């Protein structure tokens, strides 16, 4: 039963005795399940709970729901109805093996198997809730793809809205602008959450089970500096979803590690705190989110930046197979090794091809291959003003503008011309259809500057396959569950793009299953 009351001092004193509540609390709730965080994983947990007749309480620190969960285009699913209808026969074992190999077997195989096994049920579940599919796509070459990335019409934002609406309709409570501050513990067991509402008043939720779903720590600069070496390196901007300076989580991205830190304070262990979902290349333009959701000149500019023309580092030399420009994790890692910054060199013929015939490589599912980049002239207009787009009549002038040795750039361009004429790239293996010569005598010449970004932190609390939080010795912390980007141990050193959409899939699946497991224990009297 959900209970809320304004406490007298006498009642407050009584409650303080029974479960360690502060005497100055003004609002008290009681429920079987409280969820810290109203993003994709937290609302999936709430949705699963109300499906079973429970009345969960969700504490969300921001004014709006969803957080980073509003932005995914799609999610990983294995064995979905949609795959079966389209004769896609990818198996759980194939995906699990690919994931473990990618992560050098440093990821938790038991938790990963559960998340992958249940991913198809999660996709079917959200479709039963009204989500609509617009296809299965891949950013990998087709012969390497597992074909698991299910794209939703309207992206994950529509799922957030559906979950929130149904949770409220079925008796759940969602409290926005109510950040959780600490877990309440009695006799070694988590028994509730202390929060603060928008008026600054204390809120106490007494609960039989607590789920942490606060989305990681991508906007906590102190935690990034402590755990993530890349965060202050050359060519590293803010998180992709960055929308302004981080001030007490009020920039619209409340993912500041609250849940992980609260769990640590009650004894939870952590894993993989150094790991982020690197994403590159991005135009050196803030905020990066505008290249996802902003004007066409930024979205198309981001697409143009990753085309397989000629990528050079700060020394004017190649460092990567440009045919893999859509595989953003590979690009991120290669750029990290090469110093963090890249320049894509374009001549007039290639520029005209982009404007009139379209890109050779897609930008996620945002700008598709073959779509003419009609906004590219505007891209260069604003980019030249902001310092990340360049145009010159000569190669020497272009090299001077981007700060690389002209002799190196010319040598690199001449090599690419030789490879294009031979139809083979002996350095990096760029596809023959992506090899094109440069006119070395006649300009104009163009360049776009690319930097690295990241869209998630991937380290967090150690959990078991039921998503119960564990201490460093592997023992369960009673009544505490952790889901989504607050889980650690699912990745090694970077995001796995072969398992495309895994972050959002794991968020929804872990939320759904954690609620199921928590409520099953409540019913069993545990």
Instruction: Say whether both 415 and 470 belong to one domain.
Output: no
Residues 176, 39: Cα–Cα separation, whole Å: 11
Instruction: Say whether both 480 and 449 belong to one domain.
Output: no
Buried b vs exposed e over 69-89: b needs ≥16 C-beta within 10 Å? bbbbbbbbbbbbebbeeeebe
Instruction: Say whether both 136 and 17 belong to one domain.
Output: yes
Query: In the listed set 423, 453, 483, which residue is the last one of a domain according to the structure?
Result: 453
- CATH code for position 171: 3.50.50.60
In terms of Cα–Cα distance, which of 210, 214, 194 is closest to 39?
Answer: 214
Query: In the listed set 419, 453, 487, which residue is the last one of a domain according to the structure?
Result: 453
Segments forming the whole domain that contains residue 38: 1-216+257-275+458-526
Asked if the peptide bond before residue 524 counts as cis, ω within 30 degrees of 0, the response is no
Please report, to the nearest 10 degrees, the dihedral formed by the alpha carbons of residues 342, 347, 350, 351 taken in order: 90
Instruction: Say whether both 52 and 133 belong to one domain.
Output: yes
Instruction: Say whether both 301 and 410 belong to one domain.
Output: yes
Instruction: Say whether both 431 and 477 belong to one domain.
Output: no
- CATH code for position 440: 3.90.700.10
What size, in residues, is the chain? 526
pTM, two decimals, is: 0.89
On whether residue 38 sits in a domain, the answer given is yes
- One digit per residue, the tens of pLDDT, for the chain of length 526 reads 444 433 333 333 333 333 445 545 579 999 999 999 999 999 999 999 999 999 999 999 999 999 888 888 899 999 999 999 999 999 999 999 999 999 999 999 999 999 999 999 999 999 999 999 999 988 777 777 899 999 999 888 899 999 999 999 999 999 999 999 999 999 999 999 999 999 999 999 999 999 999 999 998 989 998 999 876 667 676 666 555 443 343 444 689 999 999 999 999 999 999 999 999 999 988 778 889 888 999 999 999 999 999 999 999 999 999 999 999 999 999 999 999 999 999 999 999 999 999 999 999 888 999 999 999 999 999 999 999 999 999 999 999 999 999 999 999 999 999 999 999 999 999 999 999 999 999 999 999 999 998 889 999 999 999 999 999 999 999 999 999 999 999 999 899 888 999 999 999 999 999 999 999 999 999 9
In the chain, the number of structural domains is 2
- Residue 315 burial (10 A CB sphere; 0-12, 13-18, 19+): middle
């Amino acid at each position: 039963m959900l209970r809320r009351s304004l406490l007298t001092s006498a009642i407050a004193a009584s409650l303080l005795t029974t479960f360690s509540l502060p005497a100055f609390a003004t609002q008290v709730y009681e429920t079987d399940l409280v969820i810290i965080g109203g993003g994709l994983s937290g609302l999936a947990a709430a949705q699963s709970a109300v499906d079973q007749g429970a009345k969960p309480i969700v504490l969300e620190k921001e004014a709006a729901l969803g957080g980073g969960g509003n932005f995914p285009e799609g999610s990983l699913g294995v064995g979905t109805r949609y795959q079966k209808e389209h004769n896609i026969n990818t198996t759980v074992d194939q995906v699990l093996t690919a994931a473990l190999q990618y992560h050098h077997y440093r990821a938790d195989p038991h938790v990963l198997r559960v998340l992958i096994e249940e991913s198809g049920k999660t996709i079917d579940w959200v479709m039963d809730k009204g989500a609509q599919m617009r296809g299965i796509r891949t950013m990998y070459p087709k012969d390497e793809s597992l074909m698991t990335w299910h794209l939703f019409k309207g992206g994950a934002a529509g799922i957030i809205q559906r979950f929130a609406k149904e949770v409220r309709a079925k008796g759940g409570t969602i409290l926005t602008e109510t950040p959780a501050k600490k877990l309440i513990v009695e006799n070694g067991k988590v028994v509730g959450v202390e929060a603060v509402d928008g008026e600054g008043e204390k809120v106490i939720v007494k609960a039989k089970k607590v789920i942490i779903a606060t989305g990681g720590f991508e906007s906590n600069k102190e935690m990034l500096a402590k755990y993530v070496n890349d965060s202050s390196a050359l060519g590293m901007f803010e998180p992709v979803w960055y929308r302004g300076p981080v001030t007490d989580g009020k920039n619209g991205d409340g993912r500041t590690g609250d849940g992980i830190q609260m769990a640590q304070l009650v004894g939870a262990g952590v894993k993989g705190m150094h790991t982020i979902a690197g994403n590159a290349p991005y135009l050196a333009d803030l905020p990066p989110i505008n290249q996802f959701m902003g004007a066409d000149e930024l979205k198309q500019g981001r697409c143009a930046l990753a085309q397989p023309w000629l990528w050079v580092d700060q020394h004017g030399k190649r460092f990567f197979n440009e045919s893999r420009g859509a595989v953003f994790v590979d690009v991120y890692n290669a750029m990290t090794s090469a110093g963090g910054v890249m320049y894509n060199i374009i001549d007039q013929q290639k520029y005209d091809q982009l404007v009139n015939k379209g890109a050779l490589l897609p930008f996620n599912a945002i700008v598709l291959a073959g779509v003419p980049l009609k906004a590219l002239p505007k891209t260069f207009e604003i980019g030249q003003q902001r310092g990340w787009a360049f145009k010159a009549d000569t190669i020497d002038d272009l090299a001077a503008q981007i700060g690389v040795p002209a002799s190196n750039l010319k040598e690199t361009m001449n090599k690419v011309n030789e490879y294009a004429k031979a139809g083979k790239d002996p350095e990096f293996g760029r596809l023959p259809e992506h090899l094109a010569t440069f006119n070395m005598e006649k300009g104009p010449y163009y360049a776009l500057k690319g930097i690295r970004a990241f869209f998630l932190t991937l380290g967090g609390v150690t959990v078991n396959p039921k998503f119960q939080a564990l201490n460093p010795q592997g023992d369960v912390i009673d009544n505490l569950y952790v889901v989504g980007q607050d889980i650690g141990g699912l990745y090694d050193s970077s995001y796995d793009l072969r398992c495309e959409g895994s972050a959002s899939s794991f968020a929804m699946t872990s939320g759904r299953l954690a609620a199921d497991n928590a409520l099953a224990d409540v019913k069993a009297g545990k």
